[in-house]
Structure 1
Amino acid sequence: MSFLRLTASAACLLITALEGVAAADIAEPTLVTAVPAMREIALVGFTRALAEAPLVAETDGRVQALFADVGDRIDDSGRFARLDTAFLQLDLEEVGVQEERLRSQVEYDQREVARFRELVRQNSASASQLDTLEQSLRDNSHALRALDVKRRMLEERLARATISAPVGWSITARDVELGQWVRGGDTVGRAADFSTLLVPFALTPEQFAALELARPDLALEVLDPGNSADPTIRARIHRVNPGFDPETRKIAVELALTEPMEPARGGLRLRLRLRLPEATGAVSLPPSALDSSYEESWVIRESGERLSALQLGPDALNPDLVRVTAPGLKPGDRVRVVGGR
């Protein structure tokens, strides 16, 4: 009798253990998360300078010297060209002579005014004579100040006879020759700053969103050999135009290279690769999440709902996944692994 009771108890324990294992298998199926099926697009852009500016003559004159040609970099003097300043220098010499004469005259007038003030105090000279001398002193002092203004104007014109460009910029155009007459306001050349290269792109809103996601690890592929030791070069978003172009309906974005390229110039080709979700709305799943029979495939949601699925082939960006579409299945949904339930 005791033996029968022990046998029955053992059988009950075994059944309970098996039911617990089965319940655990049902309660905790192996799940995977559907991710968007991605496609890659490639856009090619061309480098350009960080900034560019025209070089403009500020005064009339004949070109006397040229200090840089196309392709040259502006040195520390900041000079591009100089106009003839012979007549300006002669005018300055004339002003200098007049200033020296007036200073001497003012000093004489000051002594005469002081002397006549003493004579008037002693009633040895008339007040009208003193007034005349004081008026002469004022007139000559005003004339001396006017000459000082004229001298400073000539010095400013002399300085502006040198056509300057920012130090370190490169000349991209030279539209003047030695001996050529130029007028104030004429553009005589152009200079650009190639210290940082920009690459402009026109992106759709979806492409711009993908660019924002890639911002921490943004890199461009170098297409022109010999301009970089590495096949890729790092970049950052430099500027985004907030305006709207009704023709392209795209967002104008400028990327700045954060690493040098040699030679630094415009027109170098760089490729931008962006990953975008497929327009079909497909998701990517591991093959183990698909079950099939004959020509039919399906996936099972976390809730146990079975969805008919269409396989679109392997994920080109992740060979371990397959692209799938199923009614109502979207990125982020959890599905069961076949055999994991």
Structure 2
Amino acid sequence: MRRLLTIARALRACAKTLALLMGGIGVAAAQDARVETQRVEDTPRIETLRLTGSVSAPRTSQLSSAEAGQVASLDVALGDRVSQGERLMALDSREAELERQRAQANIDQARADRDDARQRLNEANQLSAQQNIAASEQRRRQNSLAAAEALLDARQTEYALWELRISRHTITAPFDALITQRDSELGEWVTPGDTLMTLVDIDALRLDFPVPFSAYGRMDDATLEIRLEGDTRWYAARPQARVPQDATSRQFLLRAEPAEALSLLPGMALEGRLLLEGETGPSVPRDALIRRPDGSVSVWLARQEDDAWRAYEQRVEIGSGHEGNVAILDGIEVGDRVIVVGNERLEEGQTLSLIDDD
């Protein structure tokens, strides 16, 4: 009996404790939930189009020689930075030098013949004034001078040709660039058309992205941002050209350049996002969204009833997001007051205390 009385007292104590706890819960539930809200505004809807691209070098030059010859000097190595006009390599030009010397000697001979013909014509002109020479002899000497002058011109052209051929034995950089490949070695015999080395202008790189044709007509107001592989920061880029490609790909090439200096190399992979402006409509901060296990999405709205604010859950259909805001395609209207802070544990119809009550 004594044991039964002890058990009964224990049960009564537990009941009192449970009643106190339930009363406390009821008081907590009766308290207003403190929340922060925001008016839904009519804002431009930004569609984000994800892109995958790469870095390319529009100025890439595979150098070759216009003359055949043996490589006499190599002045640069793989990976060197070179400036426009800087000597890269030279071919053996000794044979061409000898031909230029012969051409110079021919010029000297032709100039002497021209001077002799001019002197003979001057003498004929003086004799003609004294009527001591026939007109036919005077014409013959005029023709001899003309022939001598023509031969001198030919010899000078021949000399200029050898000057040009000698200059072609030296390969120079056509622009500021990086040596990315060298295909010739000292002492090697090269012929015209052989690739000697490859230069890439890494200071004028371009960003290439294939983009669906559906975005072609919306590019005028589009914004492009890029992110390097492994980086978390987005960088602004300036679109430069839109180049249609093969119609079967249903894409066009978007070529852009970075808006700020970045450490880029040809062939690097890039991630891009193209921000396309669309029609205006309601949007809410991402923090206002409640995602349910069944895949549905809802927001909590604050509505005023009988001088009190109450919480009501509203399912919504969402669109694309940008900079922390998400477009709402259906479910709410502009002017609604959506709860953005304190929406984790609300109940339908629960009274609210608005932090930002205006």
Give the TM interval when normalised to the shorter protein: 0.5 to 0.7
Equivalent position of 2:247 in the other structure: 246
The two structures have a TM-score, normalised by structure 2, of 0.63
The residue type paired with residue 78 of structure 2 is V
The C-alpha deviation readout for 1:261-307, integer Å capped at 9, x for no partner, is 33x422333322345799xxx9745899xxxxxx9x999xxxxxxxx
Cα deviation for residue 169 of structure 1 reads 1.7
Cα pair distance change 1:247/1:70, threshold 3 Å: farther
Cα pair distance change 1:120/1:97, threshold 3 Å: same
**1:235 equivalent among 219, 224, 237:** 237
**2:111 equivalent among 82, 103, 119:** 103
Distance 1:321 1:277 in 2: 14
Q: Is the 8 A contact 1:221 1:232 kept in 2?
A: yes
**2:150 equivalent among 142, 158, 163:** 142
Q: Is the 8 A contact 2:318 2:327 kept in 1?
A: yes
Equivalent position of 2:30 in the other structure: none
Distance 2:320 2:143 in 1: 98
Equivalent position of 2:225 in the other structure: 219
Cα pair distance change 1:284/1:110, threshold 3 Å: closer
**1:77 equivalent among 77, 85, 105:** 85
| Matches for 1:126-137 after TM superposition, within 5 Å | 126-137=134-145
**1:56 equivalent among 44, 47, 64:** 64
Distance 2:196 2:39 in 1: 71
SS at match of 2:197: strand
Cα deviation for residue 212 of structure 1 reads 5.2
Distance 1:127 1:314 in 2: 102
Q: Is the 8 A contact 1:50 1:195 kept in 2?
A: no
What count of residue pairs does the alignment treat as equivalent? 283
SS at match of 2:199: strand
The two structures have a TM-score, normalised by structure 1, of 0.65
Distance 1:88 1:210 in 2: 60
1:311 and 2:316 equivalent?
yes
Equivalent position of 1:13 in the other structure: none
Distance 1:121 1:315 in 2: 102
Cα pair distance change 1:313/1:55, threshold 3 Å: closer
Equivalent position of 2:259 in the other structure: 258
Equivalent position of 1:6 in the other structure: none
The residue type paired with residue 228 of structure 2 is V
1:168 and 2:176 equivalent?
yes
Distance 1:274 1:115 in 2: 86
The C-alpha deviation readout for 1:3-56, integer Å capped at 9, x for no partner, is xxxxxxxxxxxxxxxxxxxxxxxxxxx984566887756434322224223323
The residue type paired with residue 311 of structure 1 is V
Distance 1:124 1:317 in 2: 104
The C-alpha deviation readout for 1:176-199, integer Å capped at 9, x for no partner, is 222222333333332221113222
Distance 2:172 2:299 in 1: 73
1:157 and 2:165 equivalent?
yes
Distance 1:50 1:66 in 2: 26
1:200 and 2:205 equivalent?
no
Cα deviation for residue 151 of structure 1 reads 1.4
Cα pair distance change 1:168/1:319, threshold 3 Å: closer
Cα pair distance change 1:205/1:109, threshold 3 Å: closer
SS at match of 1:194: coil
The residue type paired with residue 236 of structure 1 is R
Greater shift, 124-133 or 244-253, is seen at 124-133
**2:122 equivalent among 107, 114, 128:** 114
The residue type paired with residue 115 of structure 1 is E
Cα pair distance change 1:67/1:171, threshold 3 Å: same
Distance 1:41 1:172 in 2: 34
Cα pair distance change 1:144/1:39, threshold 3 Å: closer
Distance 2:150 2:323 in 1: 86
Distance 1:246 1:39 in 2: 24
1:273 and 2:273 equivalent?
yes
Q: Is the 8 A contact 1:82 1:162 kept in 2?
A: yes
Q: Is the 8 A contact 2:42 2:334 kept in 1?
A: yes
